[in-house]
Structure 1
Amino acid sequence: MDNQMPREEGLDHSLSLLKEGYRFIVNRKEHLNSDVFETRLLGKRAICMVGSEAAELFYDEDKFQRSDAAPNRIVQTLFGKNSVQTLDGDEHRSRKELLMSVMTTEHINKLIDITEMQWEKSLDEWIKMDQIALYEEVKELLCKVAFKWIGAPLHEDDVKTMTKELATMFESPAAIGPAHWMGRTLRNAIEKNIQQLIQDTREGKISFPRESVLHKFSNYKDLNGELLDVEIAAVEVINMLRPIVAIAIYINFTMLALLQFPEQKQKLKMYGDYTKMFVQEVRRFYPFFPFVAAKVKRDFTWNGYQFKEGTLTLLDLYGTNHDPKIWDTPEEFSPERFAHWEGTPFSFIPQGGGDYYLGHRCAGEGITIKLMKIGLDYLVNKMEYEVPEQDLHFELDDIPSIPKSKIVLKNVQRVNTQ
């Protein structure tokens, strides 16, 4: 017997979603007392879900598809046209294999080495400055890392431009008006630059190392044995660059956690295995990406609720990571919860859920953890700094949410190890 799915009244709630941000789904979950409910977005019926059971359903490829699911404003700024995030079935698995081909131990170790070297160089520069805005500085640091890792190190004159172009992709999708259109414009600019690199590689005008990301992506062939369109290859190269720069958000929240919970610093110094627990709790506790989208592939019934083919469905990532059915005291910052954590791929989903290698879980999740650990090591063990009075507040109605001051640090110095 089918049940009536709880429903939010009203003609359309798209503006409410933009205004409420990370709390949009949770607010209605609490009001309707249901982990799944119906609303209206972009003038059409939509379903919102939260929780591990909902996540397991959402990542069932027999029931949901990604093709034509993400709103155009997200595709035009964050993902790019025909990116891996918008594909299904064999085409998605083939493209995911391309991304995973550069997630080998050798590639990741190289990325770690580059990242540690860049933190050293950046620290040398910060020491010379009266103060830094950590978020802005780490974005540039990670932009340099990302381009060097793919095989195309940036000239110093290009760092600020490329950082802005990549960062705007994840800072502008939820923006309204000029800020959103600026995001589209800057995405188009970097796509053209990467397309030119790929075209020059294919024509033999530039030679990148055979194991480099740029060489692999430029010469990758699809299921039909054809080279990817230059435009698509460029989108997937950017799918390597952009997420690395976006880790600046997590590193900013890492710093915020050290300030908000100062007792954690001593634990990090005393216990080597505490670092990963701390990083995982930062990813759970603080906001990153609010939700992911799919469309119902074919009619089905789940828990007595009807899901109609073509219905837009949103899975709440932030809400699931704060779901009291999954987490004890979810609004407390407690890295120890990960000491013996035995959750599923659907209960801890800061960067998506499901299978890491073949599914739609973020290909760069492992990289995120490793680069956060490097940043944490510098902030705790290798740097000294003063934290002037500032506005460290962040809003859950901003997507992405970043502390207002972007965390200003003064008088940065190296820790004296003598």
Structure 2
Amino acid sequence: MSEFERESVPHEKTLDSSVALMTEGYEFIFNRRKAFGSDIFETRLLGKPAICMGGKEAARLFYDTDRFHRQGAIPKRIQKSLFGQGGVQTLDGQEHAHRKRLFMDLMTPERLKQLEGVTEKAWLDAAERWIGREAVVLFDEARDVLCRSAYEWAGVPLDEDEVQERGQEYIEMVDAFGAVGLRHRRGRQARAKAERRIAELIGEIRDGLRQVPEETAAHAMAWHRGLDGQLLDAKVAAVELINILRPIVAISWYVMFSAMALHDYPACADKLRMKADGDGHRRGHGDYAQWFVQEVRRFYPFTPMLGAVVSRDFVWRGCEFKEGTMVLLDVYGTNRDPALWEDPETFRPERFRSWEGGPFDLIPQGGGDHYTGHRCAGEWLTIDTMRVSLDFLVNRVTYTVPEQDLNLKLSRMPAMPESRFVISEVKWAGD
């Protein structure tokens, strides 16, 4: 059926679905897609018409920059906690492409390899501190490890006594995106503090008071010029530098989810363990580690949905997209869509053995093209960091997982078990 042919589009019979969205969280769109038997439906959110959709073809449509734009799509409350105001996520057209190139230029193979090395060392240093402790909260330790790694890699100075506080600021920014009340206020306060501090750093770099390596994000953000040839406003430059630091620290969720998967599916852990060859070198299944990481990103809930605004009137699958209408893409549901993934509720890394890497089916960090679209510039960085962290958990240390509640409430965005995954009896592998 062509996109211009008419078909019945379900419309939710409610005055407003905002409360339902907060109550159902990740499953809000997916539940209705299944109930309506449709990948698209209309509803009302915050008193205004909204279109919700999911699936591969919906994702392909969502990233059509001629039909949708991001400016005005991210609510101010989320800009003031998660993304910051004036950042790359809020831009469109040439301005977006120019700013996005700034981020992509930092993601060279050489620089990503450097981050891998920094992160591996930070994990090994952390393990030294864990030996002999009664228990370790893995999420909190991942926060500190990744904060150290992010700051060193990005060229941002960080004293050891600041690590926990700085890391927690970024966690609170992320933790605020699906929250109201105290959690949201904490995120806004954390962002305000971080932006002031990083803006001061940008000023020091520009004034010659602070020297940072040219290949780092701190240097790139400080000296980036917009399409008008002018340096970014110091606050906007700070927002963009935080858009490097915050996502790296946020990988703490994926580290925790990886550990949960290792615990729940021990056969996977066996396939990831490396064996020593005759020369003493470690040998393992590198492909399986990649499949495992991708399955963690597909299976566990992190990004629930993404928003855009209709740029011009058009019709798709019988639905009238009116200019200015809010559209939400079901990220969680697309990653679990049975039309795309066989037996999607089963954790099975082997499904990626023959996966061809489509830009609109696995979309935990957005879909489309990294360079020309709004897909996360740090996706490769995330995958590499997850693989280093996974190798550490499987091959560098051993530990036990005490009894604890590891249930994930999908009404909480981002999802987080109450215990934040506790481990105990940590030892070096082989001891």
Q: Where on the TM-score scale, by shorter chain, does this alignment land: which range?
A: over 0.9
Deviation (angstroms), 1:69: 0.5
Provide the identity percentage: 49
Count of equivalent residues: 417
Task: Return the alpha-carbon distance in structure 2 between the equivalents of residues 279 and 203 of structure 1.
Answer: 42
Query: Which structure 2 residues correspond to residues 12-23 of structure 1 after superposition, within 5 A?
Result: 12-23=16-27
Deviates more, 1:330-339 or 1:128-137: 128-137
Aligned CA distance change for structure 1 residues 144 and 343 (closer, same or farther; 3 Å): closer
- Tell me if the contact between 1:46 and 1:312 (Cα under 8 Å) persists in the aligned partners: yes
Counterpart of 2:222 in structure 1 is 218
- Whether 1:344 and 2:358 are equivalent positions in the alignment is yes
Task: Return the alpha-carbon distance in structure 2 between the equivalents of residues 166 and 379 of structure 1.
Answer: 23
Deviation (angstroms), 1:4: 4.6
- Whether 1:157 and 2:171 are equivalent positions in the alignment is no
Counterpart of 1:407 in structure 2 is 421
- Tell me if the contact between 1:77 and 1:172 (Cα under 8 Å) persists in the aligned partners: yes
Task: Return the alpha-carbon distance in structure 1 between the equivalents of residues 295 and 39 of structure 2.
Answer: 23
- Whether 1:115 and 2:119 are equivalent positions in the alignment is yes
Task: Return the alpha-carbon distance in structure 1 between the equivalents of residues 286 and 10 of structure 2.
Answer: 47
Deviation (angstroms), 1:267: 1.4
Task: Return the alpha-carbon distance in structure 2 between the equivalents of residues 101 and 129 of structure 1.
Answer: 41
Counterpart of 2:345 in structure 1 is 331
Task: Return the alpha-carbon distance in structure 2 between the equivalents of residues 72 and 42 of structure 1.
Answer: 13
Query: Which structure 2 residues correspond to residues 57-76 of structure 1 after superposition, within 5 A?
Result: 57-76=61-80
- Give the alignment's TM-score, normalised by structure 1: 0.98
Paired residue type of 1:282: V
* RMSD over aligned Cα atoms: 1.1
Instruction: Point out 4+ residue stretches in structure 1 off by more than 3 angstroms.
Output: 1-4
Task: Return the alpha-carbon distance in structure 1 between the equivalents of residues 357 and 16 of structure 2.
Answer: 36
Deviation (angstroms), 1:152: 1.9
- Tell me if the contact between 1:81 and 1:232 (Cα under 8 Å) persists in the aligned partners: yes
- Aligned mate of 2:87, from 80, 83, 87: 83
Counterpart of 1:396 in structure 2 is 410
SS in structure 2 at match of 1:406: coil
Deviation (angstroms), 1:128: 3.8
Task: Return the alpha-carbon distance in structure 2 between the equivalents of residues 8 and 130 of structure 1.
Answer: 51
Q: Deviations over 1:77-108 (max 9, x none)?
A: 11110111111000000000001111012211
Task: Return the alpha-carbon distance in structure 1 between the equivalents of residues 380 and 422 of structure 2.
Answer: 28
Query: Which structure 2 residues correspond to residues 376-387 of structure 1 after superposition, within 5 A?
Result: 376-387=390-401
Deviates more, 1:217-226 or 1:174-183: 174-183
Counterpart of 1:321 in structure 2 is 335
- Aligned mate of 1:273, from 262, 287, 310: 287
Q: Deviations over 1:126-168 (max 9, x none)?
A: 1142110101110111011111111124111111111111111
SS in structure 2 at match of 1:240: helix
Deviation (angstroms), 1:15: 1.7
Task: Return the alpha-carbon distance in structure 1 between the equivalents of residues 206 and 225 of structure 2.
Answer: 12
Paired residue type of 1:84: V
Gaps of 5+ in 2: 274-283
SS in structure 1 at match of 2:320: strand
Task: Return the alpha-carbon distance in structure 2 between the equivalents of residues 374 and 153 of structure 1.
Answer: 23
Deviation (angstroms), 1:261: 0.7
Task: Return the alpha-carbon distance in structure 2 between the equivalents of residues 128 and 171 of structure 1.
Answer: 31
Deviation (angstroms), 1:250: 0.5
Counterpart of 1:127 in structure 2 is 131
- Whether 1:373 and 2:381 are equivalent positions in the alignment is no
Deviation (angstroms), 1:343: 4.7
SS in structure 2 at match of 1:162: helix
SS in structure 1 at match of 2:269: helix
- Tell me if the contact between 1:2 and 1:306 (Cα under 8 Å) persists in the aligned partners: no
Counterpart of 1:293 in structure 2 is 307
Task: Return the alpha-carbon distance in structure 2 between the equivalents of residues 65 and 272 of structure 1.
Answer: 39
Gaps of 5+ in 1: none
Task: Return the alpha-carbon distance in structure 1 between the equivalents of residues 109 and 376 of structure 2.
Answer: 17
